Protein backbone atom coordinates (compact mmCIF):
# COMPACT_ATOMS: atom_id res chain seq x y z
CA UNK A 1 0.00 0.00 0.00
CA UNK A 2 1.23 3.49 -0.88
CA UNK A 3 1.68 6.31 1.59
CA UNK A 4 0.77 9.55 -0.20
CA UNK A 5 1.25 12.95 1.41
CA UNK A 6 -0.30 16.10 -0.02
CA UNK A 7 1.40 19.48 0.30
CA UNK A 8 0.09 22.84 -0.86
CA UNK A 9 2.46 25.62 -1.79
CA UNK A 10 1.47 29.17 -2.70
CA UNK A 11 2.90 31.75 -5.04
CA UNK A 12 3.56 35.09 -3.38
CA UNK A 13 0.36 36.62 -4.81
CA UNK A 14 -1.74 33.61 -3.74
CA UNK A 15 -0.19 33.64 -0.27
CA UNK A 16 -1.19 37.29 0.25
CA UNK A 17 -4.72 36.59 -0.98
CA UNK A 18 -5.35 33.53 1.22
CA UNK A 19 -3.89 35.33 4.27
CA UNK A 20 -6.51 38.08 3.80
CA UNK A 21 -9.29 35.49 3.46
CA UNK A 22 -8.16 33.26 6.31
CA UNK A 23 -5.71 34.98 8.69
CA UNK A 24 -3.47 32.69 10.72
CA UNK A 25 -5.13 31.64 13.96
CA UNK A 26 -8.60 32.29 12.57
CA UNK A 27 -11.23 29.62 13.21
CA UNK A 28 -11.86 29.63 9.45
CA UNK A 29 -8.18 28.86 8.71
CA UNK A 30 -8.54 25.40 7.19
CA UNK A 31 -8.88 23.94 3.73
CA UNK A 32 -10.81 20.85 2.71
CA UNK A 33 -9.49 19.11 -0.38
CA UNK A 34 -10.86 16.16 -2.33
CA UNK A 35 -9.35 12.67 -1.98
CA UNK A 36 -5.99 12.13 -3.68
CA UNK A 37 -7.56 10.24 -6.59
CA UNK A 38 -9.73 13.32 -7.36
CA UNK A 39 -7.04 16.00 -7.05
CA UNK A 40 -7.21 18.91 -9.48
CA UNK A 41 -4.89 19.13 -12.49
CA UNK A 42 -2.78 22.07 -13.67
CA UNK A 43 -5.07 24.84 -14.89
CA UNK A 44 -8.01 23.81 -12.70
CA UNK A 45 -9.56 26.49 -10.51
CA UNK A 46 -10.26 25.91 -6.81
CA UNK A 47 -12.55 28.20 -4.85
CA UNK A 48 -11.08 28.50 -1.35
CA UNK A 49 -11.94 30.52 1.72
CA UNK A 50 -14.62 30.72 4.38
CA UNK A 51 -18.24 30.14 3.42
CA UNK A 52 -19.62 32.99 1.36
CA UNK A 53 -16.17 34.52 0.78
CA UNK A 54 -14.55 31.91 -1.47
CA UNK A 55 -12.08 33.24 -4.02
CA UNK A 56 -10.56 31.55 -7.10
CA UNK A 57 -7.08 30.02 -7.01
CA UNK A 58 -5.59 28.29 -10.03
CA UNK A 59 -3.45 25.15 -9.84
CA UNK A 60 -0.28 26.54 -11.43
CA UNK A 61 1.69 23.31 -11.07
CA UNK A 62 1.26 19.78 -9.78
CA UNK A 63 4.44 17.93 -8.78
CA UNK A 64 5.08 14.35 -7.74
CA UNK A 65 8.02 13.36 -5.57
CA UNK A 66 8.97 9.76 -4.89
CA UNK A 67 10.09 9.58 -1.27
CA UNK A 68 11.24 5.94 -1.39
CA UNK A 69 9.50 2.57 -1.45
CA UNK A 70 5.75 3.25 -1.74
CA UNK A 71 5.95 6.78 -0.31
CA UNK A 72 4.98 9.74 -2.47
CA UNK A 73 4.38 13.45 -1.98
CA UNK A 74 2.03 15.34 -4.28
CA UNK A 75 2.51 19.11 -4.27
CA UNK A 76 -0.11 21.52 -5.58
CA UNK A 77 1.29 25.00 -6.26
CA UNK A 78 -1.58 27.48 -6.19
CA UNK A 79 -1.62 30.92 -7.77
CA UNK A 80 -4.25 33.61 -8.33
CA UNK A 81 -5.83 34.08 -11.75
CA UNK A 82 -3.82 36.60 -13.80
CA UNK A 83 -6.43 39.35 -13.67
CA UNK A 84 -6.09 39.55 -9.83
CA UNK A 85 -2.23 39.77 -9.63
Residue 38 lies in a domain: yes
Residue 21 lies in a domain: yes
Element (H, E) at 5: strand 3-10
pTM of the predicted model as reported, rounded to 2 decimal places: 0.76
pLDDT in tens, the chain (85 residues): 678 888 889 999 999 998 888 877 766 656 777 777 788 899 999 988 888 888 999 999 999 988 888 898 989 999 998 865 4
Residue 60 lies in a domain: yes
Residue 68 lies in a domain: yes
Q: How many domains does the chain have?
A: 1
Give the range of the structural domain holding residue 32, as residue numbers without chain letter.
3-79
Residue 18 lies in a domain: yes
Residue 15 lies in a domain: yes
State the Cα–Cα distance between residues 8 and 54, nearest whole angstrom.
17
State the Cα–Cα distance between residues 4 and 29, nearest whole angstrom.
23
Residue 85 lies in a domain: no
Residue 31 lies in a domain: yes
For 65, residues 6+ apart whose C-beta sits below 8 A from its C-beta are 72, 73, 74, 75
Amino acid sequence: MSNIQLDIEWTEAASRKIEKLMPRGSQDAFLALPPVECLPMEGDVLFLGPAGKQQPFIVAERQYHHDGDADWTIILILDVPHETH
